[in-house]
Amino acid sequence: MRSLVHRIPWALCCVLCVFAFGTTANAAEPTVAEELLDILKASGQIDETQYDSLLVKVHDEERARTLPSVDSDKASWTDNVEVYGDFRGRHEYFNYDKDSDGTSAADDRTRLRYRVRLGVKAKINDYFSTNFRVVTGTDHNSANQTVGGGGDNWDKNSFELDKAYLTYKPYGKKEMPASMNKLEVKFGKMGNLFRSKQGKDYSWDSDINPEGLALTTGFDATDNLKIKLNTAYFIEDENSSSSDPNLIAAQLVADLKIGDKSSVGTAASYYSWHSLDNLLGRVEAVPGGLTNGNGLDFVDVRLWASCKAIENWPLKVYGNFWINTDAEKTAATNNDKEDQMWMVGVEGGSAKKNVKLGLGYGETETNSTIATLADSDFLDGKTNRKGYVFYAKRKILKNTSLSFTAFKSEELDDDIDVGLTKADRLRFQTNIVVKF
């Protein structure tokens, strides 16, 4: 028996070409393909069975071509938009050191807190994407809400815009110049590019998302050495009658892979604040030596080393040194600049495979940083303090984790009247976090 290809004349090939090239027609009228099939059937060149089979194929092809032409936009829209968020519940306990007479700076305290974050990421095209996020609370360095802390009659809690930025990738999907692996520009209210994810970084509070313009460039210097450069211009407060407090920042990050299981890295950051009069009038400025005119410069150097020699128990050691290069000696600081902040730590394990454990120690001198921009948990967002932190984290279910953190702090120099109130304390946090 001759094959169907040899039995069907050139006219049927025209039928196939018609719907292969996407010809569509009004649903109320026969399509060109249907008319051609009718002609072939009427001339006896195809029988009823062949006619019905080919007509089904024509209709299937039409649906595959026309219906997705409407739904494809919807599909691409949903494929390019991601809704994300998390809920964190927290139990927190403060235990304050007591004097020899049994009194303390404050009563011990227990509280329950929660945090909700909800965001949307959208890929606009190969070059642009955007990210929006709202969180509970209005504090600049905390999204926590205290159970029972909203006022009488369980008043409603508010959501505030926490992130809103546009990302531009100049090359899109095009090939980048040799050795370059990343180039992107961000504008708006964004996550802090300068906060390190290598161990704990208490130089910046994790809830602070600066506003402005940032550029990130990445390079593969060699097969084992990756280089990244972050630069940014952030406006802290727009003023109509005076200069805006602003921050110009630059950071160079290098990560060197050593063999298959080890790596070392460093990040050197430079922060230059300008027009700080208004800024320091609103944040918790410490007395003496914090500013030099309207400018203030910081330098931060961070080092880390990682090793995965023990299966399921990766190990990392890290440390950073931060200095205020504009601090001055004053009587309030015992004729010392009090300009340094540093921390060292070690962590090991995996929250997914077993448990992640960490231990760190740090000190922050009186004039080392702008206190309300530093981490608000470790030393309560204060300077002139020192302390330890221990933390543990374990993934217990899909998208669900438990964590525990203990902080121990005390004053660094009790001859300087800064950060002394409630300094001697233990602080315990137990969290459950669910993500979606």
pLDDT in tens, 390-410: 999 999 999 999 999 999 999
The whole-number average pLDDT for the span 189-195 is 97
Q: Return the C-alpha torsion angle 11, 17, 23, 24, nearest 10.
A: 70
Angle, CA of 377, 382 and 388, to the nearest 5°: 55
How many secondary structure helices (H) and strands (E) does the chain include? 5, 17
Residue 23, pLDDT above cutoff 70: no
Tokens standing for residue 372: 């309300």
1 compared with 274, residue with greater pLDDT: 274
What is the CB neighbour count within 10 angstroms for residue 380? 20
**Lowest-confidence pick of 1-10, 126-135, 295-304:** 1-10
The whole-number average pLDDT for the span 82-110 is 88
Residue 332, pLDDT above cutoff 80: no
Among 161, 216, 159, residue whose Cα is nearest residue 188: 161
Q: Given the structure tokens 């231990």, which residue do they identify?
A: 359
Sign of CA dihedral 117, 267, 341, 327: negative
36 compared with 201, residue with greater pLDDT: 201
Residue 44, pLDDT above cutoff 90: no
DSSP H or E segment with residue 135:
strand 128-136
16 compared with 371, residue with greater pLDDT: 371
Given pLDDT bands bounded at 50, 70 and 90, which one contains residue 102?
A: low
The whole-number average pLDDT for the span 166-179 is 94
CA dist., res. 335 & res. 416, Å (int): 11
End-to-end CA distance of the chain: 60
73: DSSP letter: H
What is the CB neighbour count within 10 angstroms for residue 193? 18
Residue 69, pLDDT above cutoff 60: no
**Lowest-confidence pick of 1-10, 63-72, 104-113, 126-135:** 1-10
Given pLDDT bands bounded at 50, 70 and 90, which one contains residue 242?
A: confident
What is the residue-averaged pLDDT of the chain?
A: 85
The whole-number average pLDDT for the span 181-186 is 96
What is the predicted pLDDT for the residue at 209?
96
What is the predicted pLDDT for the residue at 14?
41
Among 133, 200, 165, 110, residue whose Cα is nearest residue 387: 200
